[in-house]
Amino acid sequence: MELLLLVAVSLPPKALDLLGPVQEVQTVETPFGRVGPLALRVDGAGHRIWIAPYSGLPTRTDPRATLVAAKELGIQRVLAWDEGVAINPVLGRGQTLLVADYIDFTRHRPTTFFQEEGVVGLEQVPPVCPEIYRALAAALPGAVGGVYLGVDGPRRETAAEARMYRRWGADVVGQNLVPEIGLAAELELCYAGLVTVTHLGADQPPLPPHGEVRQGLEQVLDALPRVLTGLEGPRSCGCPRRLEGARSRGLLREAWWREV
């Protein structure tokens, strides 16, 4: 089993050692920029986990490059771990949210690989890979599912924006899972995300920290080996067949993502 873990949370230097020692480091050149270095860890069960630090800053790597690099390395599954702002007042700091759906409110990032002469008429697809979502839910029984709203960083939301996002149905706001979710669907990659809540929405009264975020991060770290075990075996979800309709109608060029 091989997976790319995009880490957009702050972790202690040796926190990922539970996923095994680093076996290899790769830098991948793509049509959209260089990606890496990516560190490959192999745990005691033989799971191969590529680790990439991720940042929501405007200077971050083109999200298309990250996913094309995964494709180049033969990786089929991508898990993004983000920190986020709780828009839903039921959520607290340190809580884990599994992304069940998303809203793309980014304005300055590429949201598709397609050009005008590319693919049109794509079918609606599930927003995240159901297999990875189930593995996350089984390994993190205290986590809740919710809606992730992706924005451009690094500015925080205003109180008025937080109220608006809540009316839209968002539960958390973040800067690292969108537009990657949609781009991964175009590459037929399995993609899922989880969020550790690090801040409360701007319209909520701030609360003094009591170690909740650290505890939440530790819970996810402890669960990662169980997530990997839950993903053993070949993919049986619909992610590898997301573009079948476009292919059957002759709308998809072979290796089109290399040519854009």
The pLDDT of residue 28 is above 60: yes
Mean pLDDT for 237-251 is: 76
Q: Which CATH superfamily is domain 2-259 in?
A: Nucleoside phosphorylase domain (3.40.50.1580)
Least confident of 34-38, 224-228, 237-241, 242-246: 242-246
CA–CA separation, 170 and 147 (whole Å)? 5
135 pLDDT higher than 90: yes
Question: Considering the entire predicted model, what is its pTM?
Answer: 0.92
The residue ranking higher by pLDDT, 251 or 218, is 218
Whole-number mean pLDDT of the chain? 90
The confidence score (pLDDT) of residue 120 equals: 55
Please tell me the predicted confidence (pLDDT) of residue 57: 63
- State how beta strands 172-174 and 144-150 pair: parallel
C-alpha span between 56 and 40 (Å, rounded): 22
What kind and span of H or E run contains 71?
helix 63-72
* pLDDT surpasses 60 at 119: no
How high is the pLDDT of residue 9? 95
The pLDDT of residue 250 is: 63
Q: So what's the pLDDT on residue 258?
A: 53
Those residues with Cβ within 8 angstroms of residue 259's Cβ, 6 or more apart along the chain or in another chain: 253
Q: Rounded to an integer, what distance in angstroms lies between the CA atom of residue 133 and that of residue 107?
A: 27
Mean pLDDT for 215-227 is 96
Judge whether residue 65 has pLDDT over 80: yes
Element (H, E) at 217: helix 212-230
Asked if 154 and 213 count as a contact pair (C-beta separation under 8 A), the reply is no
CA angle 92, 56, 23 (to 5 degrees): 100
Phi (first) and psi of residue 4, to 5 degrees: -100, 120
